[in-house]
Amino acid sequence: MFSLNPQPHLLIFLLVLVLFSHSSVQSLRFEVQSGGARCISEDMRPNSMTVGNYSIANPNEGHPLPESHKLIVRLVSPGEELGHFGDHVQSGQFAFEAVETGNYIICFWGADHNPKVTFSVDFEWRSGVPTKDWNVAKKTNIDAMTSSVMDLQNTVSSIHEEMFYLRLRQDENQEFNWATNTRMFWLSLLSLFVCFSVAGLQLWHLKTFFEKKKII
């Protein structure tokens, strides 16, 4: 039985690459022709992890790869069970836990193209880390980490929304205070005007009264 657990998360590959620092590493570049194939094998033990990545070398830096540069990639276990498959791709990655002992074979076919073309493929294959020593990138752990990150993200979003609401309320309070101070200023001026007007009217009334009585 060949049990594969491909991990799509980039985090898994980063963690595995660190753990593979003392493991078997195959890193090479080879050429593949349209319609041709190149196969590579790796002897693996049960309960060991393997990761790999491949990409077509770009012959023209700064330009996209030609449409003729496509690969068909197939990785099988000693029991000929499919472990990875790439259909007309220009790059790819894989990661899985080996269960069977023996040679795991990966083959690269150049997609048919007329006229035929030859292109280079960069391939790196790391293997040999026992899964009993590799507990970080288990799917359950990744799911738990993802859940924790999502919880933290939701918490941060809630805090950000609360801060935005408080800032909005602060702006509203500042505008209200400014409007209140402006009204109080004009009300104070109006009060002073009324007071001076009343005082003036009183003086004028007293002066008129005294003049009528011929007191002054």
Paired residues of 29 in beta bridges: 122
Contacts of 6 (CB under 8 A, 6+ apart): 84, 94, 95, 96
User: What residue ranges define each of the domains in the chain, with the CATH number in brackets?
Assistant: 10-137 (2.60.120.380)
pLDDT at 213: 74
pLDDT of residue 58: 85
Summarize pLDDT for 135-186 with one digit per residue, the tens.
444 555 677 778 788 888 888 988 999 999 999 999 999 999 999 999 999 9
Name the strand (E) or helix (H) holding 56: strand 48-56
Give the span between the Cα atoms of 70 and 67, in whole angstroms.
7
The model's confidence at residue 216, banded by pLDDT at 50, 70 and 90, is low
Question: What's the Cα-to-Cα distance from 190 to each of 179, 195, 196, 201, 202, rounded to whole Å?
Answer: 17, 9, 10, 16, 18
pTM score of the predicted model = 0.48
* pLDDT score recorded for residue 163: 92
